[in-house]
Amino acid sequence: MKKKSLTKLHWLYFSIIVCVMVVVDQLTKWLATLYLKNSEGVVWIKGVFELQYHENRGAAFSSLQGKGVLLVCGTIVILALVLYSYHKIPRETRYVPLRIIFAMLTAGAIGNMVDRIMNGYVVDFLYFSLINFPIFNIADCYVTVSVILFAIYAFFIYKEDELDFLFTLKKKKVENESSDE
């Protein structure tokens, strides 16, 4: 298969994964709004886990309250960096998990950005009452899990030089063997 069609195939898979994950995120937020808004919530495991409707007008842990425009702009910059980095991932099977991690991160960022643009806030509804953890949503899970997985792969799976492509701005020059002749 030609390199160009292989690249298109990678982008197609990436796009499908991102779209499916964003749809799942938006669907769960819609259901939360439909069934949880203006209610006391739903206890799934008493004292451990609940579904509660919450409108977060900030970022993680309700930081940057009321800074929606800044958060949208920041998300666009982060998405540009993620997409640029995704493009640089080698087309080898060994890097498939990294491609999935980047798709998951992208879906999480887009899912919450859609809420900020459409509503002016992000719908959160998952609450671990056992540890009084801040209420969060599926997109937050995508971002958190992708960052944790990236750290695991970066520190324990890939060798030190296998992620160099992420940290270099210029392409490696391929030495021309025929120049020796």
| Domain layout of the chain by residue ranges | 3-168
Give the phi and the psi of residue 50 in degrees, each rounded to 5: -140, 160
- Cβ-based burial of 65 (10 A; exposed 0-12, middle 13-18, buried ≥19): exposed
The CA-atom distances, in angstroms, between 30 and each of 24, 68, 113, 136 are: 10, 20, 15, 14
What is this structure's pTM? Answer: 0.83
% of the chain at pLDDT higher than 90: 65
Structure tokens at 170: 């210029």
Average pLDDT over residues 77-91: 91
Residue 157 has pLDDT above 90, yes or no: yes
Catalytically active residues, by annotation? 124, 140
Q: What is the pLDDT of residue 180?
A: 45
Give the phi and the psi of residue 155 in degrees, each rounded to 5: -90, -25
* Least trusted range by pLDDT, from 72-81, 93-102, 142-151: 72-81
Helix (H, G, I), strand (E, B) or coil at 42: strand
pLDDT band at 18 (very low <50, low <70, confident <90, very high): very high
Q: What is the pLDDT of residue 169?
A: 58
% of the chain at pLDDT higher than 70: 83
Residue 84 has pLDDT above 60, yes or no: yes
Are the C-beta atoms of residues 56 and 146 closer than 8 Å to each other? no
Q: What is the pLDDT of residue 2?
A: 57
Residue 173 has pLDDT above 60, yes or no: no
Residue 99 has pLDDT above 80, yes or no: yes
